[in-house]
Chains A and B, each alone.
Chain A
Amino acid sequence: MKHKVLIIDDEAAIRKTIRLQLEGTIYDVLEAEDGEKGIHVLDNENILEVVVIICDVRMPKLNGIEAVAYFHENYAGIPIIVLTGYPDVQLAVDFMKGGVVDYLVKPVEKDKLVEAVGKAARQHTLFSGSQQPKL
């Protein structure tokens, strides 16, 4: 079974960077440039295979806050990591209360990202013990 990570960020450079950082891990990367496109990607994937969503906060169209709310509503099992360019304590608290599993501030080092993705993926509610992805 595949382990896919969906990256939603409007900047191509960021999507490329995360793709680079996840290279050589068990994760395959899916990309979307805004929340709306992210939803479209999920609608066309076997969502059992999407183990984590990494979502930027500031994006055109559906922003991070709206996108996270939508994913919770419609894809409740998939853990979400929020990625932001600017630390905002209140926003972080709101996100964590809203069920986001992690809140990372750019720039994020590779080891830290891989660890965060691994940790998040293990919270995927659709995994039973034996299927949990290992790094």
Chain B
Amino acid sequence: MAALGTLASGIGHEINNPLYAILGAAEAIRDGNDLARGQEHAQDIIGYCKHVAGIIKNLTGYIRPADKHGLEPVYVNTAISDAVLMARLTLLSDAIEIDQRLDAVPAIFAKSEDIQQVFFNVIRNGLQAMGREGTLEIESVREANRVLVRIRDTGSGIAPGDLTRIYDPFFTTKGPDEGEGIGLFVVQQIVNKYDGTIEFESEVGKGTVCAITFPIREPNGEEP
């Protein structure tokens, strides 16, 4: 994962911005005497507070280490299909094709929300990178004692210089309303938590392939 300094500075930037806006709006209320304007500032403060709460909610929960209790068998294919369903809701265009080639793979041991979150975040990135047109291919296969999932898009691709930064918290090339840059940070946290692996290959203008593996384990934590 990214150096702790990166996380701290990312959080610092991300939270101090809305804090500054809250401070400014509160000062304006304190120093002003126009009720309607004061109400507008108060409304802004409410919005900034929600924004900060959202950031914290996104970050917590994933940074916690894995507790081995509460893990359940998770069927990767189900998690993928659910993630596709959710991601489809955000699609603006029907010129996007989503192709799923899912082998019957054994369950992994995890929390199903975590695994669903991983696929959702990666799939959503792929869809966002394609814009209005393209094909997203998702395949799952068993490889030795691991489940391998490949998610391939025909989108914009990732510039070579950005490839090392995509997991950094708050690294984004998207506009403020489209991305916070948290998606892949969260993905990496979850993948590490379950001893998984993740790799990206990408070519600008052609597309991106993301390969994720998780170990297949017995409920007692032993490898099969």
Tell me if A93 is interfacial: C-beta within 8 Å of chain B.
Answer: no
Q: Which residue of A lies closest to B23 (CB)?
A: A107
Tell me if A60 is interfacial: C-beta within 8 Å of chain B.
Answer: yes
- CB < 8 Å neighbour of B20 from A86, A87, A88, A106: A106
* Given A11-B176, A60-B173, A86-B8, A21:B27 Cβ within 8 A: yes
Tell me if A18 is interfacial: C-beta within 8 Å of chain B.
Answer: yes
- CB < 8 Å neighbour of A85 from B17, B25, B28, B44: B17
Q: How large is the interface on B (under 10, 10 to 19, 20 to 34, 35 or more residues)?
A: 20 to 34
A21 proximity list for chain B (CB < 8 A)? 24, 27
Within 8 A of B (CB), among A84-121: 84-88, 105-110
* Given A11-B176, A13-B48, A60-B173, A85:B24 Cβ within 8 A: no
Tell me if A20 is interfacial: C-beta within 8 Å of chain B.
Answer: yes
Give the docked Cα–Cα distance between A84 and B20 (Å): 11
Chain A 1-25: CB-based contact to B (< 8 A → 1; otherwise 0): 0000000001111101110110100
B176 proximity list for chain A (CB < 8 A)? 10-12
A17 proximity list for chain B (CB < 8 A)? 20-21, 23-25
A84 proximity list for chain B (CB < 8 A)? 13
Nearest Cβ distance between residue B50 and chain A, in whole angstroms? 13
Tell me if A58 is interfacial: C-beta within 8 Å of chain B.
Answer: yes
Residues B20 and A108 in contact, CB atoms below 8 Å apart: yes
Residues A106 and B24 in contact, CB atoms below 8 Å apart: no
Tell me if B12 is interfacial: C-beta within 8 Å of chain A.
Answer: yes
Residues A14 and B23 in contact, CB atoms below 8 Å apart: no
What count of chain A residues pass the 8 Å CB interface test?
A: 24
Q: Which residue of B lies closest to A87 (CB)?
A: B12
Residues B9 and A106 in contact, CB atoms below 8 Å apart: no
B44 proximity list for chain A (CB < 8 A)? 13
* Given A20-B28, A60-B173, A110-B27, A14:B13 Cβ within 8 A: no
* Given A13-B48, A85-B12, A86-B9, A110:B17 Cβ within 8 A: no
Residues A58 and B13 in contact, CB atoms below 8 Å apart: yes
Give the docked Cα–Cα distance between A60 and B172 (Å): 9
Within 8 A of B (CB), among A19-40: 20-21, 23
B17 proximity list for chain A (CB < 8 A)? 11, 13-14, 85, 106
The 10 closest A-B pairs by CB, nearest first: A86-B12, A17-B24, A85-B13, A107-B20, A13-B21, A106-B20, A85-B16, A106-B16, A86-B9, A107-B23
Interface CB pairs A-B, < 8 A, 13: A10-B176, A13-B20, A14-B21, A17-B20, A17-B21, A20-B24, A20-B25, A58-B13, A85-B14, A85-B17, A106-B20, A107-B16, A107-B23
Q: A85-B9, A85-B13, A87-B12 are in contact. List 11 more A-B contacts (CB 8 A).
A: A11-B176, A13-B17, A16-B24, A17-B20, A17-B23, A84-B13, A86-B13, A107-B19, A107-B20, A109-B27, A110-B31
